[in-house]
C-alpha cells in the first residue's frame, strides 16, 4: 500500500556525469563496434578516441583533451558539434523536478574541475539543492551517439562519480524528503546502493528505483530482486528493462511481476505510453483474491487489514502525440521527473502519469535532456 508521503521534497542519488551528444550514422556505430542502444562503461581515453573518429573530429579536428575554453566554444556552436550539458539519470530527473517548481536535492561526487563547476552551477540554476563531495579525479562523462532514428547509444566514463563512498552517505542527507530516487546504475556499486537505501529508509523517505537500462538489470539480477522486495516502494522500468527483470515478454505479465513487491510499478511502452499499477483500499478496481503482493502483507504473511481485500489498480497513460521525435535522450529520466513530482505534490496517480507523459514528450523535441523554458511552461500549464 502507498503510504502518506511526509514531504514534497525529492532527493536523488546518482552519478554526476557530463553529457556529450553527437549525431552520427548507423554505419558509424558499426565502425566502432557498438550495438545500437544501451550503455557501455569505458575509460576517458576511449571517449576521446570516438570523438576523433566522429564527423566532428574528422571535419573540425579534436584535441587530445577537451579543455575549459574549448567547452565554452562548443556550447555556443551549432548542433553539428558536441552538445555539452549536465547529465546522469538521476540528475536529469532531479533537474526536471526543480524546473516544475518542486523542492529537490541531488547527492553525488564531482571532479574539482571546470566540468564539475559547470555541472553544479547548472543544478543550482534549476532550483536544485546540491550535496557534492569533490575529488581530484575528473568529472565523469557520458558520450551519447544519436543516430537518424533518434535512438542513442551511450559510452560512460564514471570518473569521480565512482569515488562516492558508502560511509559518506547519511540519513541527514535525506532529511525531510518524501521520496528518494535511486538510479539503477548505482547497482554497479552494491555497497553504495545499500548505504543509500538504508539511509533513505532511516529518514522515512519512500524509495523510487528507476532500472536505468537492461544491461544494468542483467548484470545485477542476483541482488536486484532482494533490494526491490526489501526497500523499493516505486519501481520504474521500460519494456527492455522489464523483460530483463521479470523474464516476461507479455506486457501485463511483466507489469504484474514488477508490481509484486512494491506499492507502485510503472511499465513504459515507448510511443504507446505507459501502464501504472498501484495498490489501494478505497477505490474500485479489480480485486486480487489471496493477493501475493508483498506490499500488501505483514512480515508474517498475513493481510495488513482484516476487513479489506487487497486491490490492484492499473491505469493506461497515453503518450502525448505531436511533432516527430528528434532525440530520446533523457526521455525516461524526465518521465520519472513528472511522475514523482506529481506523486510527491499530491496529484492523483493518473494526473501524475499525464504530467510524466508531457515531460517525456517535450524532451524528445530537443537534442539532449534539457527541456527549453517554453516546453516547461507548457508542462506547468497542466498543473493548474
Q: What is the pLDDT of residues 277-300, one digit of tens each?
A: 998 754 443 333 334 444 444 333
Query: Is the per-residue pLDDT at 352 higher than 50?
Result: yes
Work out the pLDDT band at 47, boundaries 50, 70, 90: low
Query: Which segment of 149-153, 196-200, 283-287, 310-314 scores lowest on mean pLDDT?
Result: 283-287
Work out the pLDDT band at 204, boundaries 50, 70, 90: very high
Interatomic CA distance for residues 131 and 107, integer angstroms: 5
Answer with the residue of higher pLDDT: 45 or 229. Answer: 229
Dihedral sign, Cα of residue 187, residue 188, residue 189, residue 192:
negative
| Angle in degrees, 0-180, between the axes of helices 251-258 and 239-246, rounded to the nearest 10 | 70
How much is the pTM? 0.80
Nearest to 116 by CA among 47, 11, 16, 228: 16
Query: Which segment of 58-62, 127-131, 266-270, 273-277 scores lowest on mean pLDDT?
Result: 58-62
Query: Is the per-residue pLDDT at 164 higher than 50?
Result: yes
The arithmetic mean of pLDDT across residues 253-266, rounded, is: 95
Q: Do 358 and 378 touch, CB atoms closer than 8 A?
A: yes
The arithmetic mean of pLDDT across residues 36-65, rounded, is: 60
Q: Do 139 and 119 touch, CB atoms closer than 8 A?
A: yes
Residue labelled with grid coordinates 544494468? 216
Query: Is the per-residue pLDDT at 69 higher than 70?
Result: no
Work out the pLDDT band at 48, boundaries 50, 70, 90: low
Interatomic CA distance for residues 60 and 63, integer angstroms: 10
Query: Is the per-residue pLDDT at 28 higher than 70?
Result: yes
Interatomic CA distance for residues 117 and 122, integer angstroms: 9
The arithmetic mean of pLDDT across residues 372-380, rounded, is: 95
pLDDT of residue 330: 87
pLDDT of residue 287: 34
The arithmetic mean of pLDDT across residues 28-49, rounded, is: 73
Query: Which segment of 3-7, 128-132, 138-142, 195-199 scores lowest on mean pLDDT?
Result: 3-7
Query: Is the per-residue pLDDT at 274 higher than 90?
Result: yes
The arithmetic mean of pLDDT across residues 338-363, rounded, is: 96
Query: Is the per-residue pLDDT at 13 higher than 60?
Result: yes
Could you report the per-residue pLDDT of 104-122, keeping only the tens digit for each? 999 999 999 888 999 999 9
Which residues, at least 6 apart from 86, have a Cβ–Cβ distance to it below 8 Å? 16, 18, 19, 95, 118, 119, 122, 123
Could you report the per-residue pLDDT of 218-237, keeping only the tens digit for each? 999 999 999 999 999 999 99
Query: Is the per-residue pLDDT at 25 higher than 70?
Result: yes
Instruction: Give me the chain's average pLDDT, please.
Output: 83
Query: Is the per-residue pLDDT at 154 higher than 90?
Result: no
Percent of the chain with pLDDT over 70: 81
The arithmetic mean of pLDDT across residues 60-68, rounded, is: 37
The arithmetic mean of pLDDT across residues 14-35, rounded, is: 83
Query: Is the per-residue pLDDT at 209 higher than 80?
Result: yes
Domains, in order of start, for the chain: 10-17+87-139+159-383 (3.40.1190.20)
pLDDT of residue 100: 96
H or E element in which residue 278 lies: strand 274-280
pLDDT of residue 41: 75
Amino acid at each position: 500500500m502507498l503510504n502518506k508521503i511526509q514531504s514534497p521534497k525529492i532527493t536523488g542519488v546518482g552519478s554526476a556525469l557530463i553529457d556529450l551528444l553527437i549525431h552520427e550514422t548507423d554505419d558509424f556505430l558499426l565502425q566502432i563496434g557498438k550495438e545500437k542502444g544501451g550503455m557501455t562503461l569505458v575509460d576517458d581515453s576511449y571517449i576521446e578516441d570516438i570523438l576523433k573518429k566522429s564527423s566532428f573530429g574528422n571535419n573540425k579536428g579534436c584535441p587530445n583533451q577537451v579543455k575549459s575554453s574549448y567547452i565554452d566554444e562548443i556550447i555556443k556552436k551549432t548542433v553539428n558539434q558536441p552538445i555539452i550539458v549536465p547529465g546522469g539519470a538521476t540528475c536529469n530527473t532531479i533537474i526536471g523536478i526543480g524546473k516544475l517548481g518542486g523542492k529537490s536535492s541531488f547527492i553525488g561526487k564531482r571532479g574539482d574541475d571546470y566540468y564539475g563547476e559547470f555541472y553544479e552551477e547548472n543544478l543550482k540554476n534549476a532550483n536544485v539543492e546540491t550535496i557534492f563531495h569533490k575529488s581530484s579525479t575528473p568529472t565523469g562523462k557520458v558520450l551519447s551517439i544519436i543516430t537518424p532514428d533518434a535512438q542513442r547509444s551511450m559510452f560512460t566514463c564514471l570518473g569521480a562519480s565512482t569515488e562516492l563512498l558508502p560511509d559518506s552517505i547519511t540519513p541527514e542527507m535525506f532529511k525531510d524528503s518524501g521520496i528518494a530516487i535511486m538510479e539503477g546504475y548505482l547497482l554497479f556499486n552494491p555497497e553504495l546502493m545499500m548505504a543509500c537505501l538504508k539511509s533513505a529508509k532511516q529518514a522515512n523517505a519512500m524509495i523510487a528505483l528507476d532500472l536505468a537500462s537492461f544491461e544494468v538489470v542483467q548484470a545485477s539480477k542476483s541482488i536486484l530482486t532482494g533490494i526491490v522486495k526489501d526497500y523499493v516502494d516505486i519501481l520504474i522500468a521500460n519494456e527492455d528493462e522489464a523483460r530483463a527483470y521479470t523474464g516476461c515478454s507479455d506486457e501485463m505479465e511483466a507489469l504484474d511481476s514488477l508490481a509484486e513487491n512494491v506499492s507502485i510499478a510503472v511499465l513504459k511502452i515507448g510511443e504507446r505510453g505507459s501502464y501504472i499499477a498501484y495498490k489501494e483500499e478505497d477505490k474500485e478496481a479489480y480485486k486480487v483474491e489471496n493477493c501475493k503482493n508483498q506490499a500488501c502483507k505483514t512480515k508474517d504473511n498475513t493481510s495488513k487489514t482484516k476487513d479489506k481485500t487487497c486491490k490492484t489498480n492499473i491505469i493506461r497513460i497515453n503518450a502525448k502525440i505531436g511533432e516527430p521525435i528528434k532525440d530520446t535522450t533523457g526521455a525516461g529520466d524526465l518521465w520519472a521527473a513528472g511522475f514523482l513530482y506529481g506523486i510527491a505534490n499530491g496529484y492523483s496517480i493518473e494526473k501524475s502519469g499525464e504530467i510524466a507523459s508531457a515531460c517525456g514528450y517535450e524532451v524528445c523535441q530537443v537534442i539532449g535532456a534539457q527541456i527549453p523554458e517554453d516546453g516547461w511552461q507548457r508542462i506547468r500549464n497542466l498543473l493548474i
